[in-house]
Amino acid sequence: MTTQNENLRQLENTVEIVGTLKSKELEVKTSRAGNKYMSGKLVVSSKFDNKVQDQVIKVFIMASSKLFKGIETVKNEYRTIDADGVNAADRIRVTGEMKLNEYYNSQGKLVQFNEIKGVFFNRLDETNDQPDKAIASIETVVEGFVDKLDKDNLPTGEFKVNGFTVGFGNDVIELQNAVIGADLAASFMSLYQPGQTGRLTFKLNNYVLVEEQEVVEQAPSHGFGSTETIEANVIKDYVNNMEIIGGDMPLFAPKEYSVEEIAKAKQVRALKLQEMQQPAPPTPPANTGFGQGVSTQPNTPPINVDNQMPTNFGKDSMPDF
């Protein structure tokens, strides 16, 4: 049984993206403590299922990491569609892991979405015939299934799958938009019961679905009779989900997540959400000898390894590690 002070057991979590580098926004920064790191994002354009799928990959790597040289090469040498044109852009392969980004917005609403954190970056030469892909293989604790409804609130045959995985440092990662199609739903739900753990394979969908409808409008009379104009009304629907396309048999003891471990993970998750709603503790005033001093040092964000992003590290913040 997991006790209060024990770490949660980490589950396997791997993402693989193969495609053409569309854009890159990478910047070398320095923390208040003088430590250098690279942060930013890449957008990789993959073509599969007759669709263009743009995957955003977040980057955070400390200069002290063995991975830093590789991301420096990406920043300085890799060519992108946006900057160099589609014919000159590099095809790349990125491996990483699925994370959970969440925050309370200015209206007090909790915003949550999964994002890919890149770890390894490889440029593919012209002879590499590996097809484009956006795949995740994640050991998942399945919590349940919910009918996915259409615009008229009728079941589509697809299901939303509720579940989570666990990353380094007690990081409970909820899968926010995991779905399974009607063709696999019955088989999946007969094999996996709520509370079971197994390695699932996800296709990462992120594309624009465009539908054109003809709209007939009555036009004003011109001279005699009447005329009509026909215009194309373009409707855009954005598809962004993690579609389950397969999986292994459920894990059994000692590899499966036990009832006690699941309960502990839920406690960790509830505590994190509670802490997110609380304001940061005030920074102790500096000792200025007299009057009231103010410290300019922010609270130190937790960070454990060279390429683990601090949990409260934002775009405009200057970390103190």
- Helix, strand, coil content of the chain in percent (nearest 5): 15, 45, 40
Instruction: From 59, 60, 65, 62, select the one nearest 43 (Cα to Cα).
Output: 59
Domain that includes residue 195, residue range: 13-210+236-277
What is the pLDDT at residue 212? Answer: 60
What is the pLDDT at residue 30? Answer: 94
Q: Are the CB atoms for 20 and 45 separated by under 8 Å?
A: yes
What is the pLDDT at residue 231? Answer: 54
CATH number of 37's domain: 2.40.50.140
What is the pLDDT at residue 6? Answer: 75
Query: What residue has token string 């509720």?
Result: 162
What is the pLDDT at residue 296? Answer: 35
What is the pLDDT at residue 234? Answer: 66
**241, 59, 201, 21 alpha-carbon torsion, rounded to 10°:** 80
Domain membership of residue 61 (yes or no) is yes
Instruction: From 26, 46, 24, select the one nearest 93 (Cα to Cα).
Output: 46
Q: pLDDT truncated to tens, each residue of the chain (321 aa)? A: 444 557 999 999 999 999 999 999 999 999 988 999 999 999 999 999 999 999 999 999 999 999 999 999 999 999 999 999 999 999 999 999 999 999 999 898 999 999 999 999 999 999 999 999 999 999 999 999 999 998 899 999 999 999 999 999 999 999 999 999 999 999 999 999 999 999 999 999 999 887 665 555 555 555 565 555 555 556 578 899 999 999 999 999 999 999 999 999 999 999 999 998 876 566 555 554 434 343 333 333 333 445 666 544 444 455 666
Domain membership of residue 282 (yes or no) is no
Domain membership of residue 197 (yes or no) is yes
Total domains in the chain come to 1
Between the alpha carbon of residue 113 and those of residues 98, 110, 116, the distances in Å are 10, 10, 10
What is the pLDDT at residue 303? Answer: 37
Domain membership of residue 321 (yes or no) is no
Mean pLDDT of the chain: 85
Domain membership of residue 110 (yes or no) is yes
Preceding amide of 310 cis, omega within 30? no
